[in-house]
Chain A
Amino acid sequence: MEFDDMKKIWDTQNNEPLYAVNETALHHRILSKKRKGFHITNISEWLSVLVYGGTACFIFGVNFYKQSGNVWMYFLAAWMLGSALYTLVSRIRRIRGERQFDRTMNGDLAHAISVAAYQVRLSFLMRWNILPMGLLTVLSVLDNGKSVWVAVGVLVFFVISYYAGGWEHNIYKNRKRELEVLQNKLESC
């Protein structure tokens, strides 16, 4: 069969569409998706900002109110507040950066890769962020005169969080790799 024949066969669909659309059902779906329109990146960003910011304020407030003089707690509060601010600034920069992508397939893929790279970077930083936070928490526990076993328990909790963070980080890394493979496929002949 010649290619022109294939085109003729292909064009028959323009007169006789393959499907009919249930427009009411479609409208229901669109409204439902619209309501669920929050993206995972948005949620994780806001969660980080609220958890870090809220915990920092709480630690600072309690420590200040009790006049405990535990300097490690102040360091921990400052570190967490810094983490919240960093996430907030990263979010603003990400949203501003979104305007630069065109609506071609390549542009769309570049945008998806950029979001994936952002998630990889953020999850990497947040994972390593667990280490200084764990260290400061253990030091403040010891400074408060608690037993070594309490400090060990806290340390175990942070180690588990660190490993869980690695699992999340790998999900984002794999997603980014898949998108890069797709982009290579688009650009190669």
Chain B
Amino acid sequence: MTEKEQQHIFEQWLSQHKALVFKVVRAYAFTAMDQDDLFQEISIQVWRSVTAFRQESSVTTWLYRIALNTAIKWVRKERKHQQDGNLEEVEHVLQENKMPVDERLVWLYEEISRLDEIDRSVTLLMLDNFSYKEMADILGITESNVGVKINRIKKHLISKSKKYS
């Protein structure tokens, strides 16, 4: 595959599935600076993964896998290292859309952010309607393990959402 083809596929994936990447970014990074950094990191990993994609799964599943893996690693790295360099010189990649946001969506992201890194991944996949099998494939664990995690997370979210009932 030539670099031009790689670039074309990368741009296509990113334009079609940017909502997926934004969800992962917002669930794992909480300041504008961090969201920018994580988005770049995910984009770089997606770029690198283009040549490794064998069409054994859908592009969505593949991208979720890359994005979640990258986000979890990024979280662990960020806990140790503070951002280096002059922040004013940084050219921002992500620009927040100025539109009214549903208060319940903000609440949902807050609740997701309180979960540990693994449960956050499971929640995102569950909210995006992935099957147990797809989740098990992405996470590399058994379907029954996925089922247990989902039940626990669902109960937790429903109990926390009582103020909206």
Contact = CB atoms under 8 A, between A and B. Distances in A.
Interface string A1-19: 1110011011011101111
What range describes how many residues of B lie at the interface? 35 or more
A20 B22 CA distance: 9
Given A18-B96, A29-B40, A30-B47, A105 B104 contact: no
A18 B102 CA distance: 11
Contacts of A185: 116-118
A16 B99 contact: yes
A117 to B, nearest CB: 17
Contacts of B99: 16
Contacts of A10: 105, 108, 127-128
A40 interface: no
Interface in A1-51: 1-3, 6-7, 9-10, 12-14, 16-23, 25-26, 28-30, 33-34
Interface residues of A, number: 41
Interface in A45-76: none
Contact of A105 (B22, B95, B139, B145): B139
Nearest to B37: A29
A149 B46 CA distance: 58
Contacts of A2: 158
Contacts of B14: 21
A104 B149 contact: no
Given A3-B158, A7-B127, A20 B95 contact: yes
Nearest to A108: B69
A49 to B, nearest CB: 26
A20 B36 CA distance: 11
Interface in B80-138: 91-97, 99, 101-102, 104-105, 108, 116-118, 121, 127-129, 137-138
A107 B66 CA distance: 12
A19 B56 CA distance: 30
A103 interface: yes
Given A21-B14, A104-B65, A185-B118, A28 B140 contact: no
B140 A25 contact: no
B91 A106 contact: no
B137 A19 contact: no
Contacts of A178: 76
Interface string B4-40: 0000000100100011001101100000000100011
B140 A182 contact: no
A160 interface: no
Contacts of B101: 18
Nearest to A14: B19
Interface in A135-175: none
Contact of B18 (A1, A21, A187): A21
A95 interface: no
23 contacts: A6-B104, A9-B104, A9-B105, A10-B128, A18-B19, A18-B22, A22-B93, A22-B94, A22-B95, A23-B11, A28-B91, A29-B43, A34-B44, A104-B137, A104-B138, A105-B69, A105-B121, A105-B140, A106-B139, A112-B73, A182-B117, A185-B116, A189-B145
Interface of A: 1-3, 6-7, 9-10, 12-14, 16-23, 25-26, 28-30, 33-34, 102-109, 112, 178-179, 182, 185-187, 189
